[in-house]
């Protein structure tokens, strides 16, 4: 491939892969079963020109490859406030990746769109929450592949063999024990992004095993946890005892006969992490102001959108409400007959992208409420909005009331 026998595009991609392998100290390359491409989101013209150069050279992906969010909503047509040049370059970029044979999934949750590699298979995935879910919940093996390296791996069908591709590097080195928390809290969706934020702050790049969560997790909760942990830390893999495939018990997850360090998660720790997710000071004069609500980072599943419809219950939203999702979930929503009711209530459905990676929000600044730990982490820097974090039900009631509505009972 390096010699150009498979074409110039493959040679270019292989140069990127092998140089990365050298820099990371990998002794060999490993064949991959699939890729998830994060590099199709427009950040500047160079990314578009790089993708178009690969197309010009005849590049095609050698393995199934899904696409992460782009900068435009091509499925719903939600307005994106990009200048004409940036809009044109963003669309050209998206089309270039499709021309290379990538599946136009345009979602940060490809595992909800059917892209679910088998246990212990090597893959090359980008996008931090997708990487965490792939490693942790599915048990496939990937490092956090950055923009442009991801498509190079997909074109060559190879990845550097280091890091989380190696079983020895996937073992837990500490325990996060949640057993002392109330069952009601562990069973609440609002708890999981907060726990993920706290876990990510503690873990950094370390790998831990969480205990005391058996019977409380769902895929959507693990999704929310992993996204928050990957945002507040650099978490690419976590274990949950009795839940995730590499953690039937502590001994298996750690590879040790004796227990490593155990961190007991306390209500005080959670209060601190939850407080940090909201950037609006409670003593501010307009502390109850809400200018918009956004959910869906990672993208909403069909179950989450159905729950949103149930909570709204035919009422009218007073504040702009954005629900970001994938086009695959949008199709399921339409099939379930739920899309019209959400839109009539005032929900703006966003597909293929989200409100934090591209300018969709109408106001330049204000207060954004969300139930997403990832949105809460990135929104102030990416959008200029201050953030109020809360449960999905609190987001709905706040949008209906036009001001912040809290229900603190589950945290008591």
Distance CA 153, CA 39 (A): 12
Residue whose tokens read 């940090």: 276
Contacts of 146 (CB under 8 A, 6+ apart): 38, 39, 126
Angle at 326 between CA 325 and CA 328, to 5 degrees: 130
Distance CA 60, CA 9 (A): 8
Give residue limits of the domains in the chain: 8-168, 171-276, 279-404
Contacts of 304 (CB under 8 A, 6+ apart): 220, 295, 296, 392
Residue whose tokens read 């953690």: 247
The answer to whether the beta carbons of residues 326 and 299 sit under 8 Å apart is: yes
C-alpha dihedral (222, 223, 226, 230), degrees to nearest 10: -170
pLDDT computed for residue 259 by the predictor: 79
Give per-residue pLDDT as tens, 175-196: 999 999 999 999 999 999 999 9
Burial 267-278 (b: 16+ CB within 10 A, else e): eebbeebbebbb
Distance CA 152, CA 15 (A): 9
The answer to whether the beta carbons of residues 208 and 199 sit under 8 Å apart is: yes
Task: Give domain 279-404's CATH superfamily.
Answer: Aconitase, domain 3 (3.30.499.10)
pLDDT computed for residue 343 by the predictor: 97
Q: Where are the beta strands (DSSP E) in 251-304?
A: 261-264, 292-300
Radius of gyration of the chain (CA): 21
Q: How many CA atoms lie within 13 A of 62 on its CB side?
A: 21
Q: How many residues does the chain have?
A: 412
| Domains 8-168 and 279-404 alike in fold | yes
Q: What is the pTM of this model?
A: 0.96
8-168 — its CATH code?
A: 3.30.499.10
Angle at 403 between CA 316 and CA 77, to 5 degrees: 50
Spans in the chain with pLDDT lower than 70? 364
Q: Which two tokens stand for residue 267?
A: 């209500």
Q: Which two tokens stand for residue 285?
A: 């004069």
pLDDT computed for residue 375 by the predictor: 97
pLDDT computed for residue 113 by the predictor: 97
């Amino acid at each position: 491939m390096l010699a150009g026998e498979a074409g110039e595009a493959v040679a270019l991609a292989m140069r990127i892969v092998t140089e990365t392998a050298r820099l990371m100290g990998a002794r060999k390359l490993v064949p991959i079963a699939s890729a998830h491409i994060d590099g199709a989101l427009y950040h500047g013209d160079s990314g578009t020109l790089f993708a178009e150069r690969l197309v010009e050279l005849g590049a095609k992906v050698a393995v199934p490859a899904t696409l992460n969010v782009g900068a435009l909503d091509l499925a719903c047509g939600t307005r994106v406030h990009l200048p004409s040049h940036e809009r044109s370059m963003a669309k050209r970029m998206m089309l270039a990746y499709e021309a290379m044979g990538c599946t136009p999934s345009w979602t940060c949750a490809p595992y909800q769109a059917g892209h679910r590699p088998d246990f212990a298979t090597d893959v090359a995935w980008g996008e931090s929450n997708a990487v965490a879910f792939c490693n942790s919940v599915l048990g496939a093996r990937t490092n956090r592949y950055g923009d442009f390296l991801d498509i190079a791996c997909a074109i060559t069908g190879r990845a550097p063999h280091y890091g989380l591709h190696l079983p020895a590097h996937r073992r837990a080195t500490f325990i996060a024990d949640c057993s002392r928390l109330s069952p009601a809290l562990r069973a609440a969706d609002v708890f999981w992004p907060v726990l993920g934020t706290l876990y990510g702050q503690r873990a950094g790049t370390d790998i831990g095993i969480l205990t005391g969560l058996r019977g409380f997790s769902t895929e959507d909760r693990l999704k929310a946890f992993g996204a928050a942990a990957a945002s507040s830390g650099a978490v690419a893999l976590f274990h949950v005892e009795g839940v995730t495939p590499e953690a039937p018990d502590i001994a298996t997850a750690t590879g040790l006969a004796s227990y490593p360090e155990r961190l007991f998660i306390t209500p005080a720790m959670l209060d601190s992490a939850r407080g940090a997710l909201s950037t609006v000071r409670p003593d501010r004069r307009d502390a109850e102001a809400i200018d918009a609500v956004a959910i869906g980072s990672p993208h909403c599943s069909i179950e989450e959108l159905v729950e949103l419809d149930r909570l709204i219950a035919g009422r009218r939203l007073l504040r702009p409400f954005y629900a970001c999702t994938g086009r695959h979930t949008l199709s399921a929503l339409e099939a379930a007959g739920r899309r019209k009711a959400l839109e009539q209530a005032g929900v703006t459905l966003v597909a293929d992208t989200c409100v934090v990676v591209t300018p969709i929000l109408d106001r330049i600044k204000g207060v954004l409420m969300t139930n997403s730990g990832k949105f809460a982490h990135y929104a102030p820097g990416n959008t200029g909005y201050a953030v109020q974090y809360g449960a999905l039900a609190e987001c709905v009631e706040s949008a209906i009331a036009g001001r912040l509505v809290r229900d603190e009972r589950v945290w008591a």
